[in-house]
Structure 1
Amino acid sequence: MSKTKEHTAARGGVPQQNATAGPVAPPRVSARRRRPGMIALSLALIAAGGAGVAVLLLQAGHRTQVVTVVRDVQVGQALTAKDLGKASVALDPAVKAVRADDLDSVIGKRAAVELKPGSLLAPSQVTKDFLVKAGEQLVPVGLKAEQVPATALVPGQKVRLVHVPAPGTVDTGKTSGTAPRTIEGRVVKASKSAPGTGVVVVDVATSADNGPTAAAWVAAGTLRLVLDAPDGS
């Protein structure tokens, strides 16, 4: 028996196979089928997102030329060109401000409220009317901290000046049951409370006939200020 046959018999009669393997084909991967509906939805979402970003960028870049206050202006003071300036701002639609194109229309008008530098000028902050009208007088009324109403005093607010007994006097009954004397007035300006004392000075416009009487009440310390109802009743 030859040596080749002996090796074959020793391995159980199974012929030895060739040790060199042939080339192996890679597995075939089937491509997923694309769904046209999903592709269209994705494109629509991308387009919507891009449009939203574009709108935000346009809104952020949209600026409006408005009128600003550059100097302190007191209530009733006529506005001049030196009191006002211009600025370009991103203006919210809810904010009412005088446009820069209308600057000339507010020059000469009077400040209805106290104006501070750096603020935008609103149409409601100016008026063409004199705060103290013909036939009126301005009476300054000093109010102590406990006499100042909790409701803020604003220009144009209607008030009544009430005459009360002088401090330290005793009511003898002669005036019991009678209503105190009052004078109608209108707030022109109210200062901030003074440091330390808390006193607030309120400029009140009254008729020229009642002005001297109201001033005498203030000097004697017998005047009190009462707010009228918003409708003036």
Structure 2
Amino acid sequence: MSNTQVRTDTSPNGLPQQGQVARAVTPPRVSARRRRPGVIALSLALVAAGGAGVAVLLLQVGHRTEVVTVARDVQVGQVLTEADLRTASVALDPAVKAVRASALEQVVGKRAAVELKPGSLLSDSQVTSEVLVKPGEQLVPIGLKPEQVPATALVPGQKVLLVHVPAQGATDAAKDSDASSGPETVKGRVVKASGAAPGTGVVVVDVATSATDGPTAAAWVSAGTLRLVLAAADGR
């Protein structure tokens, strides 16, 4: 259908006037919307960026690694068995150093260097081939009050010094003797440190000492005259 309209002049009574020629009415011109190249380029860039983000996310989700996880509670020093462990497929961050599932057989038979909890990933630093309490050593449990617990976390294998301090009310002669020769010390190694006990905040630390020093350290603990000091990294 043509958009051309015909208009005729009419007389006052509504009838076309004689001799008048109908004139064509030109339709209004519709201006085309101007396109902005900058807006188009920005739109394309956003679409491309969104597509790239989705692609990266899909790659991350799709890339999974078979690792070893802990199946049940394992105490410090306990020998690991196949029943203690399982494997799982996870999206692993490269910064996480977890034992790969292919190394499961190499882990079985080692000892837990720390307390292991179900569902956690197993790392190489959490297991050891060494016996935590070696032949010729004794295990001395030491209770530390909140103010005696070091701010540095106590971890298995950490070297410590067990220091004998004068009891409250000791004689001046005993104090002078201790001052001249220095306090008695016993070298030890942390095997396990418990969490703070509810209400009291006491932390129990199992320390391995030589068989000859074990009874001495136990006597100091009983008398309340023992303090635990962290040793340097070389054990001195």
TM-score normalised by the chain length of structure 2: 0.79
- Alpha-carbon deviation of 1:84? 1.1
Residue 68 of structure 1 pairs with residue 69 of structure 2: yes
- Alpha-carbon deviation of 1:49? 4.5
Question: Given the superposition, is the C-alpha separation of residues 45 and 141 from structure 1 closer, same or farther in structure 2, using an over 3 Å criterion?
Answer: closer
Q: 1:111: which partner in 2?
A: 112
Larger Rg: 1
**Cα distance in 2 between the residues matched to 1:30 and 1:202:** 83
- Alpha-carbon deviation of 1:42? 7.6
**Cα distance in 2 between the residues matched to 1:155 and 1:185:** 11
Residue 21 of structure 1 pairs with residue 19 of structure 2: no
Q: 2:168: which partner in 1?
A: 167
* C-alpha distance after superposition, 1:116-136 (max 9, x if no partner): 112111111111111112222
**Cα distance in 2 between the residues matched to 1:70 and 1:60:** 24
One-letter code of the match for 1:165?
Answer: P
* Paired residue total: 218
**Cα distance in 2 between the residues matched to 1:34 and 1:151:** 63
Q: 1:57: which partner in 2?
A: 58
**Cα distance in 2 between the residues matched to 1:110 and 1:56:** 38
Question: Given the superposition, is the C-alpha separation of residues 20 and 127 from structure 1 closer, same or farther in structure 2, using an over 3 Å criterion?
Answer: same
Counterparts of 1:63-142 in structure 2 under 5 Å? 63-142=64-143
Among 212, 216, 222, the alignment partner of 1:213 is 216
SS in structure 2 of the partner of residue 175 of structure 1: helix
Question: Given the superposition, is the C-alpha separation of residues 45 and 171 from structure 1 closer, same or farther in structure 2, using an over 3 Å criterion?
Answer: same
**Cα distance in 2 between the residues matched to 1:26 and 1:222:** 105
Question: Given the superposition, is the C-alpha separation of residues 43 and 144 from structure 1 closer, same or farther in structure 2, using an over 3 Å criterion?
Answer: closer
**Cα distance in 1 between the residues matched to 2:166 and 2:111:** 38
- Structure 2 unmatched runs, 5+: 1-17
Please say if residues 167 and 221 of structure 1, whose CA atoms lie closer than 8 Å, have aligned partners that are also in contact: no
**Cα distance in 2 between the residues matched to 1:134 and 1:166:** 32
One-letter code of the match for 1:140?
Answer: P
- Alpha-carbon deviation of 1:67? 1.2
Among 201, 204, 208, the alignment partner of 1:201 is 204
Please say if residues 72 and 115 of structure 1, whose CA atoms lie closer than 8 Å, have aligned partners that are also in contact: yes
**Cα distance in 1 between the residues matched to 2:77 and 2:212:** 22
**Cα distance in 2 between the residues matched to 1:44 and 1:196:** 60
Q: 2:192: which partner in 1?
A: 189
SS in structure 2 of the partner of residue 214 of structure 1: helix
- Structure 1 unmatched runs, 5+: 1-15
**Cα distance in 2 between the residues matched to 1:194 and 1:45:** 56
SS in structure 2 of the partner of residue 177 of structure 1: helix
